[in-house]
């Protein structure tokens, strides 16, 4: 295969692929054996064999090939010239009409710090194992900043650990202010803001403590915590908006198809499993265990290939109802967006898997939402034994406080906080039925909505009960 043919190979070309490349020693075949990252028609990154050696190949094709190739090559050279640890570039080339390619040494058995973090993320906040991962990352970032460089797309997956060494990768994201001279304080704060914004918010009280590991590597500037936190909030807001834009766009995370007769959005990794579910959603509901049927929505637990899912169908009750619904986004779409919002923010909710809006010449009809199934009890069932005496388990009361703290922090109102919409799941309270959820821009509108949410939640128990008194005393009343 010629390199240029990759442009039409789509997201999942058949492997292995034999691609003809050439360097100073002449033409040779790259045997591409696996793909690690694909941007269809533009970039293909994977492992292969070149001249008898295992390599990591970065292949650029399409109209942007020359620009992407040059960015990658420039960044890789900057890292190497400044003595920073990065995989060795073995060969590279750019051919007009074909594309560009860079072949790196393959780091056998390397682990990204992103994977290392996932292995310890569930431990108590700031556990020693978590500190070890973040300290390693911050030390490497400090060394890079000391040399006048920064990683524009800074995240833990761009740091690879192998044999006691930490490698900086992804040259395309490497930027330079003045090579060999420490980065300015403003650039340091901006880049650290990108890094810290991707960490769980539960770590925020410890940012100052974690900064010590950076300062041990690069102590050129005093870094005011307040200025850093402003950068973190700025980046968080951008990342959330960017993510929410992706939930309705075909990309590496989501498979999305829009047309005059349907809108379909599926978590890409779930696409093979979800397409058959969407194709026979009505039949599955008919065969499944129905929680709610008729009216505006039908909800059921269904079993598909040994996996339990929840399918929610948003019905059209009649012509008058259709006139109210056809012209605006469906409640399924709203729930899809809000479920992904909660998941991104680390607030527990069943994982949204797929969405389907039926349409006729763009006019919306029935819609379907598929999510994971939560086997745990809802809060009314879970707390039923404690209504009279109020002696609910402390861990579950603390988890409830945390849920409300998270909602307050993000200015999110649920809109219908009855107990059947709050489920116990793996040590946390999870929210379901997100049709009316809203993230508020102003503190005033959120305060009003929060008061309604809290009042509705408290109506789950008799006012005079001991449990009511306990919960009422633990949940914030006045947001001021």
Q: Are 406 and 365 in a shared domain?
A: no
Q: Are 165 and 43 in a shared domain?
A: no
359: CATH: 3.30.200
Determine, yes or no, domain membership for 86: yes
Q: Are 239 and 258 in a shared domain?
A: no
Per-residue pLDDT tens digits for 250-296:
998 999 999 998 999 999 999 999 999 999 999 999 998 888 776 78
Between 479 and 441, the higher pLDDT residue: 441
Determine, yes or no, domain membership for 479: no
Q: Are 115 and 210 in a shared domain?
A: yes
DSSP-based three-state secondary structure for 368: strand
pLDDT of residue 43 exceeding 80, the answer is yes
Give, to the nearest 10 degrees, the angle between helix 225-246 and helix 331-345. 150
Question: What predicted TM-score, i.e. pTM, was given to this entire model?
Answer: 0.87
The residues that bridge with 94 in the sheet, in sequence order, are 100
Q: Are 101 and 115 in a shared domain?
A: no
Residue 328 banded pLDDT, cuts 50, 70, 90: confident
Determine, yes or no, domain membership for 240: yes
Per-residue pLDDT tens digits for 350-403:
999 999 999 888 888 899 999 999 998 999 999 999 999 999 999 999 999 999
pLDDT of residue 46 exceeding 70, the answer is yes
Of 372, 404, 436, the one marking the end of a domain is 372
Determine, yes or no, domain membership for 384: yes
Q: What is the pLDDT of residue 289?
A: 86
C-alpha distances (whole Å) from 476 to each of 233, 408, 419, 452 are: 23, 9, 18, 13
Q: What is the pLDDT of residue 327?
A: 67
Q: Are 59 and 140 in a shared domain?
A: no
* Location of structure tokens 């069932």: 381
166: CATH: 1.10.510.10
Determine, yes or no, domain membership for 189: yes
426: CATH: 1.10.510
Q: Are 41 and 158 in a shared domain?
A: no
From the DSSP assignment, how many helices (H) and strands (E) are in the chain? 14, 22
Residue 323 banded pLDDT, cuts 50, 70, 90: confident
Q: Are 79 and 170 in a shared domain?
A: no
CB contact set of 460 (below 8 Å; sequence gap of 6+): 379, 380, 418, 419
Q: Are 341 and 397 in a shared domain?
A: no
- 347: which DSSP letter? -
Per-residue pLDDT tens digits for 391-446:
999 999 999 999 999 999 999 999 999 999 999 998 999 999 999 999 999 999 99
Of 230, 246, 262, the one marking the end of a domain is 246
Domain count, the chain: 4
For residues 327 and 362, is the Cβ–Cβ distance under 8 A?
no
Environment class of 83 (CB within 10 Å of its CB; exposed 0-12, middle 13-18, buried 19+): exposed
Residue ranges of alpha helices (H) inside 147-260 are: 185-197, 207-215, 225-246
The residues that bridge with 20 in the sheet, in sequence order, are 2, 29
C-alpha distances (whole Å) from 201 to each of 138, 219, 231, 389 are: 17, 25, 14, 34
Encoded tokens for 426: 């793996």
For range 163-180, the mean pLDDT = 95
Determine, yes or no, domain membership for 312: yes
Q: Are 52 and 121 in a shared domain?
A: no
* Location of structure tokens 């009216």: 295
Q: Are 330 and 385 in a shared domain?
A: no
> Residue 179: what are its φ and ψ, rounded to 5°?
-55, 130
The residues that bridge with 263 in the sheet, in sequence order, are 258, 357
Determine, yes or no, domain membership for 480: no
Range 148-171 burial, b when 16+ CB lie within 10 A, else e: bbbbeebbbebbbbeeeebbbbbb
Determine, yes or no, domain membership for 134: yes
Q: Are 337 and 300 in a shared domain?
A: yes
Domain extent, residue 434, equals: 379-474
- Four-CA torsion 77, 79, 84, 88, nearest 10 degrees: -40
Of 246, 274, 301, the one marking the end of a domain is 246
CB contact set of 22 (below 8 Å; sequence gap of 6+): 28, 93, 95
Q: What is the pLDDT of residue 480?
A: 62
15: CATH: 3.30.200.20
For residues 169 and 160, is the Cβ–Cβ distance under 8 A?
yes
Q: Which candidate, 30, 44, 33, 35, places its Cα nearest to that of 1?
A: 30
């Amino acid at each position: 295969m010629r390199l240029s043919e990759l442009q039409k190979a789509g997201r999942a070309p058949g492997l292995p692929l034999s691609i003809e490349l050439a360097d100073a020693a002449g033409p040779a075949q790259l045997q591409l054996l696996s793909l690690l990252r694909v941007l269809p028609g533009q970039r293909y990154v994977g492992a292969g064999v070149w001249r008898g050696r295992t390599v990591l190949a970065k292949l650029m094709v399409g109209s942007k090939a020359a620009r992407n190739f040059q960015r990658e090559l420039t960044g890789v050279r900057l890292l190497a010239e400044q003595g920073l640890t990065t995989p060795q570039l073995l060969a590279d080339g750019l051919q007009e009409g074909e594309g560009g390619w860079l072949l790196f040494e393959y780091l056998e058995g390397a682990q990204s710090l992103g994977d290392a973090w996932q292995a310890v993320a569930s431990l108590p906040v700031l556990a020693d194992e978590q500190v070890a991962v973040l300290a390693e990352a911050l030390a490497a970032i400090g060394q890079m900043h000391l040399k006048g460089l920064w990683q524009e797309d800074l995240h833990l997956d761009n740091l690879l650990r192998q044999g006691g060494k930490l490698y900086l990768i992804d040259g395309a994201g490497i930027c330079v202010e003045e090579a060999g001279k420490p980065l300015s304080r403003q650039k340091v704060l901006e880049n650290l803001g990108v890094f810290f914004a991707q960490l769980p918010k539960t770590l925020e009280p410890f940012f100052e403590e974690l900064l010590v590991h950076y300062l041990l590597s690069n102590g050129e500037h005093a870094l005011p915590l307040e200025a850093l936190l402003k950068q973190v909030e700025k980046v968080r807001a951008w990342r959330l908006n960017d993510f929410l834009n992706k939930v309705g766009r075909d990309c590496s995370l989501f498979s999305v198809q829009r047309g005059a007769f349907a809108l379909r959005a599926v978590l890409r990794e779930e696409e093979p499993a979800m397409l058959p579910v969407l194709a026979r959603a009505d039949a599955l509901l008919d065969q499944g265990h129905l929680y709610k049927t008729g009216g505006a929505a039908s909800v059921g637990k269904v079993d598909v290939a040994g996996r339990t899912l929840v399918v929610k169908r948003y019905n059209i009750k009649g012509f008058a109802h259709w006139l109210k619904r056809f012209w605006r986004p469906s409640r399924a779409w709203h729930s899809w967006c809000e479920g992904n919002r909660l998941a991104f923010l680390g607030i527990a909710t069943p994982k949204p898997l797929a969405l389907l809006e039926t349409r006729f010449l763009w006019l919306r009809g029935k819609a379907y939402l598929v999510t994971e199934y939560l086997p745990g009890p809802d809060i009314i069932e879970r707390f039923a034994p404690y209504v009279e005496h109020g002696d609910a388990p402390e861990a579950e009361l603390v988890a409830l406080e945390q849920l409300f703290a998270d909602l307050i922090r993000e200015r999110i109102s649920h809109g219908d906080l009855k107990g059947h919409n709050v489920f116990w799941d793996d040590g946390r309270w999870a929210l379901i039925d997100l049709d009316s959820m809203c993230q508020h821009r102003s503190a005033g509108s959120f305060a009003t909505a929060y008061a309604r949410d809290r009042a509705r939640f408290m109506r789950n128990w008799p006012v005079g009960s001991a449990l009511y008194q306990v919960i009422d005393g633990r949940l914030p009343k006045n947001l001021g």
